[in-house]
Amino acid sequence: MGIFSSGRVSVKAVLNKDIMYPRDCANITLHVDNSNCKKAVEKYNCKLIRRTEVLNLGKKGKPIYMNDTVI
């Protein structure tokens, strides 16, 4: 019996906007569906990651720099 043998849990996170700018407020809505799971979801942890990309527009928008930061 493994750690994840109690069934299937589906999690969907939705932000209020697709693109955020500095000083924007991010509203995150989490939808947790554990109807196919034998155990209740008692707690969860969510991290927001900021991705910074610098694109080279001369080469079909190929990224020349990319950075992910947990905020």
HEC-encoded secondary structure of 3-70: CCCCEEEEEEEEECCCCCCCCCCCCEEEEEEEEEECCCCCCCCCCCEEEEEEEEHHHCCEEEEEEEEE
Residue 64 pLDDT exceeds 80: yes
Residue 1 pLDDT exceeds 50: no
pLDDT of residue 3: 58
Residue 36 pLDDT exceeds 50: yes
Question: What pTM, to 2 d.p., does this model score?
Answer: 0.55
Task: Judge contact between 7 and 13, C-beta under 8 A.
Answer: no
pLDDT of residue 4: 60
